[in-house]
Amino acid sequence: MTLTFRKLHPLFGVEIGGADLTRPVDAVVFGEIRAAFEEHSVVLLRDQPIDDAQQVAFTRLFGPLETTVSANPAGGTAFARQSNLDINTGVVIPPEDRRMIYQKANYFWHTDSSFKKVPALCSLLSGRLCPPEGGDTEFASLRAAYAGLSEAMKQKIETLVAEHSLAYSRSLVDPTVLTEAQKAEVPPVQQRLVRVNPINGRKALYVSSHASHIVDQPFAEGRALLDELTAHATQPAFCWSHQWRQGDLIIWDNRAVLHRATPYDAVKYKRLMQRTTVAGDAPTVTP
């Protein structure tokens, strides 16, 4: 298998051709994919009609999988399901249903599982059913964002820590969308604002819609800083948008990019995206 590489955006992202993820991926090919992931932060592989078992097998090559929080329709499994189809019947879920409202939080720029003490390494999203229009996923490079900060801002945020929680990001959509039990499952955690890639030393600005405020600062002050940094990080020059085709697989580095979903006509079209998530190996804040 010889792989081909095509850049998706001047600052980040690569499309890899020549791989077949429906079959076991050997160590040499995986090594190239893993290296591309570390370098480019977003990796697109097209025409990969994988099933759940094949997705899990490929995902495991990156490391141990996370188990999804119970608020997602696929909670308790290795999958996070982004879909307007009922998991059991396949029937379209009405827009006012709690499960559709829960998914609206994906419209905010975020990184997956920053609300966990050990945040996720990467996510793999497989396009199983894709609407013909809308439902694109957008990405923003947090390395480009960090590099683009003023020296004064870099110094200001170097040691700052933000509090992240699923309850906070979901409250932006609807404060009642999570039950008390679902909130208790993932209590607030702390994450550094600046993360360093252990392999290449590149720094990323670790913001996310899960981040509510800065630890040891008045809420409003920290909130204003997070809003300013997120606006900076998501300026058009740092963003790339993907229009899905069935069979696309995207791997993204949750340490180095933000992503967000965009709307589609969820009454007219079907959308089913299956996500597997690879756990990180350490907290960003050491006690």
**Can you tell me which of 137, 169, 182, 191 binds ligand OGA, judged by CB under 6 A?**
137
Minimum separation from the CB atom of position 16 to Mn ion (A): 21
Judged by CB under 6 A, how many residues of this single chain contact ligand OGA? 11
CB 196 within 8 A of CB 203: yes
Show the binding pattern over residues 100-119: x = contacts ligand OGA (CB under 6 A), - = does not: ------x-----x-------
Contacts of 65 (CB under 8 A, 6+ apart): 56, 59, 78, 276, 277, 278, 279
Residue with smaller CB distance to Mn ion, 25 or 278: 278
CA distance linking residue 145 with residue 231, whole number of Å: 10
Nearest Cα to Cα of residue 226 among 120, 132, 145: 145
Footprint of ligand OGA on 14-73 (CB under 6 A) = none
Footprint of Mn ion on 102-131 (CB under 5 A) = 112
Minimum separation from the CB atom of position 59 to Mn ion (A): 15
DSSP tag of 41: S
CB 66 within 8 A of CB 120: yes
Residue with smaller CB distance to ligand OGA, 39 or 136: 136
Minimum separation from the CB atom of position 48 to Mn ion (A): 19
Footprint of ligand OGA on 245-264 (CB under 6 A) = 259, 261
Put the strands of the sheet holding 79-83 in their side by side order: 4-7, 14-17, 42-45, 249-253, 122-129, 272-278, 79-83
**Can you tell me which of 41, 48, 84, 123 binds ligand OGA, judged by CB under 6 A?**
123
Within its chain, how far is the Cα of 5 from the centroid? 22
Backbone angles phi, psi at 273, to 5 degrees: -120, 130
Interface contacts to ligand OGA, rule CB under 6 A: 80, 82, 106, 112, 123, 125, 137, 259, 261, 273, 275
Interface contacts to Mn ion, rule CB under 5 A: 112
